[in-house]
Amino acid sequence: MSVYTLPDLPYDYGALEPHLSAEIVELHHDKHHAAYVKGANDTLEQLAEHREKGGGPALLNALEKNLAFHVSGHALHSLFWQNMSPDGGGEPDGALATRIEADLGGYQAMRAQVTAAAMGVQGSGWAALAYEPLGDKVVVTQIYDHQSNTPTAGTPLLVLDMWEHAFYLQYKNVKADWVEAFWNIVNWNDVATRLSDVS
């Protein structure tokens, strides 16, 4: 029995072209995201086995790290697909725009900060726009791998995958072109709904 399941894409593989190729979307969803779902389910089974049969604290520690990696990967990719749309792009409006203005200095400043976060990822990771409830602020952050460096209380609203599997087949080493293309497919309605759900 699987606890975690791979969500369907909300659009066809080729729907985000020319900004994101059908080949990347298909591989990224059907192979990479699916692997995190499988990893999360497998790790839960291994943790159950550890509870029944033991295995020591070192194995438990490793399994907990694996669970964090795979569940976070699953969560971020599930969000990432919803954050993009063939009808995306443009600028946010309404309460989201007001928030971005107040907390990050407006759309252009936010976009520059998220772009810098994306371009500054060392190794594998993400750039994210998140709501941080303790300070009641929208913030920009990098996420290392899938599971590290986030303000713990925060809820990601918009995530940009900067792992090489997210862009390399189309953009090769030119990360900046992937980041520029991403802004053309951001689903601001989805981001706005997420913000209103948590703030």
CA distance 132 to 25: 30
CB of 73 to Mn ion, least distance (A): 7
- Compare residues 117 and 138 and give the one whose CB is closer to Mn ion: 117
Instruction: Fill in the amino acid letter for 127.
Output: A
Nearer to Mn ion, 9 or 100 (CB): 9
- For residue 196, the minimal CB distance to Mn ion (Å) is 26
* Minimum distance from residue 173 beta carbon to Mn ion (Å): 17
Identify residue 66 by its one-letter amino acid code: N
Closer residue to Mn ion (CB): 24 or 96: 24
Q: What does the block give as tokens for 121? A: 């990822």
Q: Quote the CA–CA distance of 146 and 124 in Å, as a whole number.
A: 8
Q: Are 20 and 185 in contact (CB under 8 A)?
A: yes
Residue closest to Mn ion (Cβ): 161
Task: State which residue, 88 or 125, has the beta carbon closest to Mn ion.
Answer: 125
What residues contact 6, with CB distance under 8 A and at least 6 apart? 29, 33, 34, 37
Chain residues in the site for Mn ion (CB under 5 A):
161, 163, 166
Q: How far is the CB of 48 from Mn ion (least distance, A)?
A: 27
